Structure 1
């Protein structure tokens, strides 16, 4: 792929609520509309349909039934997460779920995993039966689950077979089934800091960097994120991996081409914000909101988008499938080509 070209997908948080503006009033609404938006995005020529995962919230949670359903309804579009909180996951069962969803989709799964984000409840992973060992943190717990998951995805046998099984076994140690060939290379780590981006590179994972990052230098968000990406790629090279890694960034980008667009999003983007999240000083990237011509000029200056090969556009899923398809189509046809992304 040319250095300027981008794979462009959407990222949905999967909210539902009884608010008057919401087209997703129930969990069923979100799930069914997520499938329909992925189908519409594929028809428009988008490259990816990605979904956030949050527990104990009125948002999408367990992702694999949804990913499998989208895989069965589509043929080309990549299907992924951004991100699965590994503190909550049994890596063994997750390998089976992920393998099944990947096979249904024909090898199109792109799984973003991570330590996770701030929670709705206190130490929610404890309710799922997990706790870090003494002296370790919940971040250590998430990374350990990730390491086990990555090792299992290699598909090598590790379990001693029963000498009197219900069904005949192949020779040797047994692995988890179904095995999805190549899925190990389609795992991404959601990183908020330079250090975890370097760790992801060492582990051979692709990099997902979102709209917030640890504020490590006080510089504008896109400059810090671009440096994070460059350090990730340097660590990847030093680790000696054979393949070329992928890097995604997510952005809130809205092109104003209709009265509804202007009424919904206003007439201008905001600026970076700095705040405290999970006891970490973080810089939150700006939204881009403008008419297409101005939007094109503003996006040219975003160094991190220039560094990434994949751009995930956050979508306001509660505004419904048709309106979100309109937002995607406008960006794909009136903005992306002028930037050399398509």
Structure 2
């Protein structure tokens, strides 16, 4: 039986190329709206070279001042773009500003490396570790060990202190997530004791069935997670209820789902990428499909992955319908 205790949403943070302020402001308003509606978490994608949020830490610093209690997540920061020490400083600053609500999520690599590698990194970045080791260094920085020897101090006006990453936010380590889609990545994340983000894209390893592949990832993660670690798993699905939409919007939603159906039929590319079908329909139809989803039944945290390029009103209608019509049927009570 599906029992969801935590409900969050992930938004792409789109904006018009000629008016980025209005789009970013609309996304901040959506975070406020989600909090008023009673969602537990609001997550932002980090995207580069697109009209989306390119610095999740900066955006969430603003969101921390517009909200009071909703969790603020990043899904995900590609670590290849980042300096592990400087990013750790940014994240601890946001966590302090949000009073411990930050949920930073990461992935490996550096998309668009051919365009951005030389701009982001000095020197021959082709030899740099842009994978797990780079995330490992970030985690080490978050632990806040003192730099230098026991007698090493730094002097600033009015103060002498031992040097370490500042500000300190020791509990942030328990709220770090990894976006994993393969058994290799799952095993690494579990070994590090990180929380797990798994969405509507996984790698087909030994199966052509999306849910079977995702179940294997979830169970392997739980098998390898060290004792004493939080081990949260947030599962993502694209959920678009029709109930509160007008006829024209319903037709647009159905057209959106149809345009993406082909990719769900067979594994894609050499890595055999599998895509979950979008859940577009009435609330009752979506509830039935979620109850039948064996991967959803394995978790207690559900993350709605909002479609790209919808407008603010669409997102509000989707969130409202999910919160009032779908969440209660999954065991998640309506609360504000």
Q: Give the Å deviation of 1:230.
A: 0.8
Verify the 8 A CA contact 1:85 1:142 in the aligned structure 2.
no
Q: Give the Å deviation of 1:121.
A: 5.4
Equivalent residue for 2:242, pick from 247, 256, 266: 256
Equivalent residue for 2:166, pick from 163, 177, 181: 177
SS of structure 1 residue aligned to 2:190: helix
Deviations 1:44-89 (A, max 9, x none): 0011111111212222111112101111111110001100010111
The alpha-carbon distance between structure 1 residues 104 and 76, as it changes in their structure 2 partners (threshold 3 A), is same
The alpha-carbon distance between structure 1 residues 120 and 58, as it changes in their structure 2 partners (threshold 3 A), is farther
**1:287 aligns to what?**
278
Q: How does 1:289-304 map to 2 (within 5 A)?
A: 289-304=280-295
**2:254 aligns to what?**
266
Residue 244 of structure 1 pairs with residue 230 of structure 2: yes
Write the distance in 2 (CA, Å) between the matches of 1:225 and 1:325: 29
Write the distance in 1 (CA, Å) between the matches of 2:332 and 2:184: 29
Verify the 8 A CA contact 2:16 2:23 in the aligned structure 1.
no
Provide structure 2 residue ranges, at least 5 long, that are not aligned to the other structure: none
Q: Give the Å deviation of 1:127.
A: 2.2
Q: Give the Å deviation of 1:7.
A: 1.3
Moved more, 221-230 or 26-35: 26-35
Residue 307 of structure 1 pairs with residue 295 of structure 2: no
**2:114 aligns to what?**
122
Write the distance in 1 (CA, Å) between the matches of 2:33 and 2:308: 13
Verify the 8 A CA contact 1:190 1:208 in the aligned structure 2.
yes
Provide structure 1 residue ranges, at least 5 long, that are not aligned to the other structure: 19-24
Q: TM-score, normalised by structure 1?
A: 0.87
Write the distance in 1 (CA, Å) between the matches of 2:115 and 2:206: 30
**2:61 aligns to what?**
68
SS of structure 1 residue aligned to 2:62: helix
Verify the 8 A CA contact 2:12 2:52 in the aligned structure 1.
yes
**1:205 aligns to what?**
194
Q: TM-score, normalised by structure 2?
A: 0.88
Write the distance in 2 (CA, Å) between the matches of 1:191 and 1:339: 25
Q: How does 1:62-211 map to 2 (within 5 A)?
A: 62-116=55-109, 119-120=111-112, 122=114, 124-129=116-121, 134=127, 140-159=129-148, 161-162=152-153, 165-170=156-161, 173-211=162-200
Deviations 1:14-59 (A, max 9, x none): 23346xxxxxx63222211111000000000011111111212222
SS of structure 2 residue aligned to 1:153: helix
Write the distance in 2 (CA, Å) between the matches of 1:163 and 1:308: 47
Residue 13 of structure 1 pairs with residue 12 of structure 2: yes
Write the distance in 1 (CA, Å) between the matches of 2:268 and 2:102: 33
Deviations 1:224-267 (A, max 9, x none): 1121011001000xx3x313310112111111113244122128
RMSD (CA atoms): 2.4
